[in-house]
Every structure is written in C-alpha cells, then in structure tokens.
Amino acid sequence: MNISTPGPTVRPYQSYVYAYPHKTAYRPLAERPALRELWAAEPKDALSLYLHIPFCEVRCGFCNLFTRIGAPEGLVTAYLDALERQAGAVREALGEDARFAAAAFGGGTPTFLEAAELERLCDIAEKGMGADLAAVPLSVEASPATATADRLAVLAGRGTTRLSLGVQSFVDAEARSAVRPQRRAEVEAALARIREAGIPVLNIDLIYGIDGQTEDTWRHSLDAALAWRPEELYLYPLYVRPLTGLGRKEARAPEAQWDAEWDERRLRLYRSGRDHLLAHGYEQVSMRMFRAPGAPATGGEDHACQTDGMVGLGCGARSYTSALHYSFDYAVDMREIRGIVDDYVSRPAADFARAEHGRWMTGDEARRRHLLQSVLQAEGMEHAEYRARFGTDPAEDFPAELARFAERGWLDPDAAPGRLRLSPEGLAHSDALGPELFSPAVRAAMAAYDLK
C-alpha cells in the first residue's frame, strides 16, 4: 500500500451496486402484469422473503433509504394490516409449491416496531407467506435505541439468526456530524443486549469519510466494534446524496462535482480499515463486508439483494423474477415517502396481485447482473458457471470492459485459471467498476429519473 500515490484518476465512489438494475431505472408498468403469471414458470423451491418496514425514529443525515420519521397513531397497525393483505394476495399468486429458504426484515428500522408488533410481523411471514422462520436464516436490521431487550427476545425466539446493527461511528462527535443522534453509551448497551439475546450472528455497520473523522478516530471505532467480536462487519464509504439531510446542508455535491481530496481520504480510510480487519483474522467477502474467522456464512445483504426468486412485501420492497424486477414507487423526499406509505396502507388486497413499477430483464441485463453480482465478491467468478448459464464466456460478452479493468490493475493476474477475480485495488474500486457494467439503457433510465 502506498498512501502517497497521487489522487485517483477514476472516481472511486460512484454508486453502491447492491442491486442491478437500480430502482431509479424502474418505471410504471402500463400493463400491470398479474403476479400469478409472472411467477408461474419460476423455480419456487428456494425463494427469499423480504419484509420492508418504512419507519425510523429519526432521519439520519446520510440516509436516502425509503423510510419516514415516526408513525402517527394507528399507522403501524394499518401498515401491518396492509402487509397481511399483501401477503395473502402474493401467497395465492405464488401457488402451493412456493418454499422459502431465507427471510429478512429490513427498512427503515424493523425494530421501530414494538414487541407485539414484531410478533405480528413474524406471523405474517409464517402464516401469511408460509416461511418457516425457525428453520431458515432470518436477518433483521436494527438501530441501537430500538434494539430493546423485549424486542430482541421476540426476534431471538422467532428464529432470528443475524442481527445487523447500524452503529456508523463509536465517536459521538462523528455521529453528530453524520446527523445520527446517538451516544456511544447507548450503542454499547445495545450491543450488550444483542449478545445477551443470543442471536448467532451480529453484524455491525460502520461508516468512513465522515467530517472530522481521522485515521485515528476510524481505528478507534473499528477497535470498539472488534471488542464485541462481531461475526460480520460492514464498512461503508460515506455517500452524500441529493435530497438527504447532508446533501441539502452541504454546498458540496459529490454527484456533480469531483472532490478528489475527499475521494482520496475515503480510499485511505478504506485501506487502513481493511488492513486492520485482515490483521484481526477477518476475511474480506466484498468491498464492504468482512466475516470473522469461523463465523457462519449468512449470505449478507450484498448477496441477498442480488438473488433471483426474491419476494418482497411492503411499500419499499423489491421483488425479482427472472423476467421482471418490480416494486412500488420510490422517493427520498420525506413528503413523497409519506404519500407513498399512506397510499400503500389504503390499498385493497386485489391491488397487490399485480406488479406496478418495474423493469423487464433482457438476456443482456441478466448477463450484466450475473457478472456484477459475482465479480464484486472477493472470491470472484468461475467462467464455467457463467458459461453454463449463458452459453458464452464473459470475455466474449464484455471484452472492452474487462480489458479496461485489467489495464487499470483491477483484475488479479494470479487468479486460478478459469476464475475472474478482482485485485485488492479492483475491490477498493468496486463502486466505480460496478457502474461501468451498467447497460446504456439502464444508465439512460437512471439519468432520466426525476428524483423526488
């Protein structure tokens, strides 16, 4: 590692590719296809279930996720009622032979729900959708203040195997600067409660690149996290996106302007964070994800978001068949989000039997998605797997892109024959490499999207 290299020549932080195509490439579906037909010919013996909870106690300054602040009286119950209606309609459309092999509750903050509401959420997954939560991996996202002992007890009792806690920073001043109002003492208390609840896998999310963060304070946060021996750690580079609290506050608009100094700072923090975790025996799974030695592979968020056969419930959830990716409308602005949640809770069951917003997948998009989902994993991709699925070689399908990546030193020249694997610098540039694999059509749709 040479930290005195000149500034990066390619913008390393363009977009986090956790799902392809991005929701901003979805459009209203004029025909509103029936889910029954969409799912008829799909393999349904190992589906993933995702339940989205669009509520948080606060709106963090960096967050552009689909979530609203708090819930007025009755809205959570109305939301669970709507989820139940949607579960009934979707389950019927999937048919008798649907089986779930994994489940996740995400958000927003699923633990915004109180203990009894979480019981009901689990019932919707089990009785409404037929997922056997005690038998399949179940991953749940939480924030420190909402990870209370009674809610964790419900989640542990219903079979949660992975609890992901958004910590972001163990330094109070950095949490404040990211507009994430929390204190270290609260975070430590939440971590103790999670360990006490006995959920097998603890994941901690941390962010680097926050204003005021230095290599020393970053190391301090990493060490504070390591003290809990989390089975997984996710290290996220800070993104400041339009319409978020930080995006509105800052004159700097990294989407439009290239802030090379900030890019270099994030790259430096990434490299030092990565090296620190590797020195502690953690295995790097992707640019963001690290797994403790001996920890079970849970198929973390990076991967789960990319699988086919995903059934999402809730107004921010995506669903994927091989032919169509679909969801409800998407927004970042708080007023727009409130409108979409209100609209969702008012829907009758019949409305949930059809897809509404989405993007049809072509053969070319499926190839791009497969390449993206595998090459951004540290272990890389077997050419043979790609060939078995598509009948061609990735080098035939993406000659220019792969040549460019090799030229930039992003491919590992020592990868085993027949394996395409990123070099450490390639992994560090995942958020630049990924977007280069987007199709012209997806790029154009994303650029034309009117963010609200």
Q: Which residues contribute to the site for ligand SF4 (CB under 6 A)?
A: 56, 59-60, 63, 65, 67, 107-109, 143, 166
Q: How many Å apart are CA 452 and CA 450, to the nearest integer?
A: 6
99 neighbors 65 (Cβ within 8 angstroms):
no
Name the amino acid, one letter, at 106. G
Residue 205 contact, options ligand SAM, ligand SF4, none, Cβ 5-8 Å cut-off depending on partner type: ligand SAM
Nearer to ligand SF4, 56 or 224 (CB): 56
Q: How far is the CB of 30 from ligand SF4 (least distance, A)?
A: 32
**Partner in contact with 236, chosen from ligand SAM, ligand SF4, none, beta carbon below 5 to 8 Å by kind:** ligand SAM
Three-class secondary structure of residue 209 per DSSP:
coil
Q: Which residues within the stretch 40-99 sit at the binding site for ligand SAM (CB under 6 A)?
A: 56, 62-63, 65
Q: Which of 53, 82, 90, 207 binds ligand SAM (CB under 6 A)?
A: 207
282 binds ligand SAM (CB under 6 A): no
Residue 169 per-residue DSSP state: -
Torsional class of 135: left (φ above 0), alpha (ψ -120 to 50), beta (otherwise): alpha
Minimum distance, C-beta of residue 178 to ligand SAM, in the bound complex (Å): 8
Residue 180 beta carbon to ligand SAM: minimum distance, rounded to whole angstroms: 8
Residue 114 beta carbon to ligand SAM: minimum distance, rounded to whole angstroms: 16
CB of 235 to ligand SF4, least distance (A): 15
Assess 156 for contact with ligand SAM (CB under 6 A): no
Judged by CB under 6 A, does residue 143 bind ligand SAM? yes
Q: What tokens appear for 63 in the block? A: 């967050």
Q: Which of residues 108-127 bind ligand SAM (CB under 6 A)?
A: 109
CB of 352 closer than 8 Å to CB of 343: no
CA dist., res. 228 & res. 193, Å (int): 12
Rank residues 207 and 324 by Cβ distance to ligand SAM and give the closer one: 207
In the complex with ligand SAM, the residue whose CB is nearer, 199 or 402, is 199
Alpha-helical runs (H) found in 376-429 = 383-390, 394-397, 399-407, 424-428
- What is the residue-wise DSSP string for 224-292? HHHTT--SEEEEEEP---TTSHHHHH-S--TTTS--HHHHHHHHHHHHHHHHHHHHTTPEE-BSSEEE-
* 195 vs 241, beta carbon nearer ligand SF4: 241
Judge contact between 165 and 151, C-beta under 8 A: no
Q: Is the dihedral of CA 335, 338, 340, 343 positive or negative?
A: negative
Q: Tell how strand 201-208 and strand 232-237 pair up.
A: parallel
Measured CA distances, 393 to 87, 371, 412 (Å)? 40, 11, 18
Token pair belonging to 273: 């964070």
Name the binder of 207 from ligand SAM, ligand SF4, none, CB < 5-8 A by kind.
ligand SAM
Smallest distance, Å, CB 345 to ligand SAM?
20
Bridge partners (DSSP) of residue 47 are 100
Residues 227-266 that bind ligand SAM (CB under 6 A): 236, 238-239, 241
CB of 433 to ligand SF4, least distance (A): 25
Which member of 117, 141, 174, 431 binds ligand SAM (CB under 6 A)? 141
Residue 238 contacts which entry, ligand SAM, ligand SF4, none (Cβ below 5-8 A, type-dependent) = ligand SAM
Residue 49 CB, nearest approach to ligand SF4 (Å): 20
**Site for ligand SAM contains 292 (CB under 6 A):** no
Token pair 């209370």: residue: 148
What CA–CA distance (Å, rounded) separates 243 from 250? 11
Assess 213 for contact with ligand SAM (CB under 6 A).
no
For the CB of residue 63, give the shortest distance to ligand SAM in the complex, in Å: 5
Binding to ligand SAM by residue 203, rule CB under 6 A?
no
CB of 194 to ligand SAM, least distance (A): 12
Closest to ligand SF4 by CB, 33 or 300: 300
Q: How far is the CB of 238 from ligand SAM (least distance, A)?
A: 5
Report the distance separating Cα 358 and Cα 30, nearest Å.
Answer: 10
Which secondary-structure segment (H or E) carries 168? strand 162-168
Best CA proximity match to 295, nearest among 306, 314, 281, 305: 281
| Closer by beta carbon to ligand SF4, 143 or else 373 | 143
Residue 59 contact partner, candidates ligand SF4, ligand SAM, none, CB within 5 to 8 A by sort of partner:
ligand SF4
CA distance 123 to 118: 9
Backbone phi and psi for residue 326, each to the nearest 5 degrees, phi listed first: -145, 160
Q: Determine if 182 is a binding residue for ligand SAM (CB under 6 A).
A: no
**Tokens (6 digits) for 397:** 């399908």
Residues of this chain that interact with ligand SAM (CB under 6 A) are: 56, 62-63, 65, 106-107, 109, 141, 143, 166, 168, 205, 207, 236, 238-239, 241
